Amino acid sequence: MDHQHDKQGSGLALLPFLIFIVIYLGAGLLLQARGEEMAFYQFPSVTAMFIAVLAAFCMGKGSIDEKFSVFARGAANENVLTMLMIYILAGAFSTVAKAMGGVDSTVNLGLSIVPVHLLTAGVFVISAFMGTATGTSMGTITTIVPIVVGVADKSGLSVPMLLGACVGGAMFGDNLSMISDTTIAATRTQGCGLRDKFRVNFFIALPAAAITVVILLAAGRPETAVELGDLSFSIVKVLPYVAVLALALAGVNVFLTLTIGIFGAGIIGIAAGDLTVFTLAQNIWAGFTGMSEIFFLALFCGGLSELIAHNGGIVWLIEKLRRMMRGHKSAQVGIAAMVSLADCATANNTVAIIVSGSVAHDVSREYRVDPRRTASLLDVFSCVFQGLLPYGAQLLTAATLTTTTFHIEMSPVEIVPYMWYCWILAAFGLLSIFVPYADGACRKDPWNWEYDVAESGVTAQKAMLEKEQ
């Protein structure tokens, strides 16, 4: 192995990442121009990443066997494998809980509690809880939008405002949930605990959510009260979501938490007659396979990041970033800008975090930014832009469901001005960099830089090479 080659920066080594973004973004723009629905999701991200991996194998010195050894080291990194296991368990929990009626019960419980004249703010709160409990903004949007848009239309509420409340709440949940793709990716790439990241993230998201609720209470009153119809629910079916949230916040091991959630939901479903032992098994498997895209993407990206680092790409990028970063705060701004641009390019906040995670980790080590803080920044700003992109899945889905289900013509662009939560979250995210009011958890429990348990395969490899020399 050429140690010196590993330590030299090379901008050319980043070409595979550029290829991935050009293919993924280019295909989306081309199909958008042709008027295709969900244009940015027609070309699978995994296929684009596979092409980028092939390009990386064609670059640099060494045989195919040597390059595959580097790739395998990155793909088999402990953080990557942990992330993959959490993904499939989270997928199984969400699928089983939905199959036993947990989603419908949770939504109906929320709507039965909220007075109709507070519906807009109530939808934000219900969506926030659903997103936090289930870990999926898309699942939250597809469940809640068809229920409430009809009511909004009849009561004289602004439909774009109600959609903005729903998507905003869903992004709150996506950002904070212990089992969301973004939280898993952000914490595993930075090597910190789910609860630790939550504690930092919570003080950024909560004030943004509180201000959003106040705005929605003031601006979102209906002209006429309308009956919401049948809102039957079973409180028992809401319990698995509450249990998973409570266990995760209590710091229980995430694998144990999700396993308890899966079988807790399964037992409730069997007792209620919604599931059998066989349909429970089938739903667990469906949950595993439902995470296949993000599973393969994370696997490929782990190996690709290691190849790029091996060829000097990460070193080169940090050298360039260092010229713009003067210290602790500017490094955080750089991390926020990096994940924001990655999300704008990929229209997928989880992909954006996975793609930029290893570089963000090395930058945070360079400028001694606490990994819990870095994980929070990655999640916050990827969710901000994901909720504001007119070509992102969240706004596209909300607009499409409104148009197809209720024949109310709706463009994603019409919803963007009402995405108050995301706009306010961006402001608090930036404020937290310059006024570190959210870093209380970090100050009470300082990160041990001498023994950095967050070391990624890239950083560990660099340290090993320096010691060998």
* Beta carbons of 149 and 159 less than 8 angstroms apart: yes
Sign of CA dihedral 186, 191, 193, 196: negative
pLDDT at residue 465, as a whole number: 36
- 454: its two tokens: 């967050």
DSSP 8-class letter at 406? H
* Beta carbons of 453 and 191 less than 8 angstroms apart: yes
pLDDT at residue 222, as a whole number: 64
Please state whether the predicted TM-score (pTM) of the whole model is above 0.85.
Answer: no
pLDDT at residue 454, as a whole number: 40
pLDDT at residue 154, as a whole number: 64
* Beta carbons of 406 and 149 less than 8 angstroms apart: yes
pLDDT at residue 452, as a whole number: 53
Crossing angle of helices 45-57 and 64-75, rounded to 10°: 140
* Beta carbons of 184 and 359 less than 8 angstroms apart: no
* Beta carbons of 457 and 412 less than 8 angstroms apart: no
pLDDT at residue 27, as a whole number: 86
Burial class (CB in 10 A: 0-12, 13-18, 19+), 114: middle
> On the CB side of 430, how many CA atoms lie within 13 Å of its CA?
8
Number of other CB atoms surrounding residue 189 within 10 Å: 31
Tell me the C-alpha distance between 337 and 439, whole Å.
20
Residues of the chain with pLDDT under 70: 1-8, 38, 40, 79, 150-151, 153-156, 222-230, 318, 322, 345, 405, 440-444, 448-469
> Which amino acid, 119?
L
Collapsing DSSP to helix, strand or coil, 429 comes out as: helix
The DSSP result for 329-392, as a single string, is HHHHHHHHHHHHHHHHHHS-HHHHHHHHHHHHHHHHHHTT--HHHHHHHHHHHHHHHHHH-TTS
pLDDT at residue 271, as a whole number: 94
Residues 6+ apart with CB under 8 A from 184: 83, 86, 87, 90, 194
Residue reference for tokens 């909720």: 387
Nearest to 175 by CA among 163, 161, 157, 187: 187
Number of other CB atoms surrounding residue 225 within 10 Å: 11
Tell me the C-alpha distance between 384 and 106, whole Å.
25
Tell me the C-alpha distance between 187 and 434, whole Å.
22
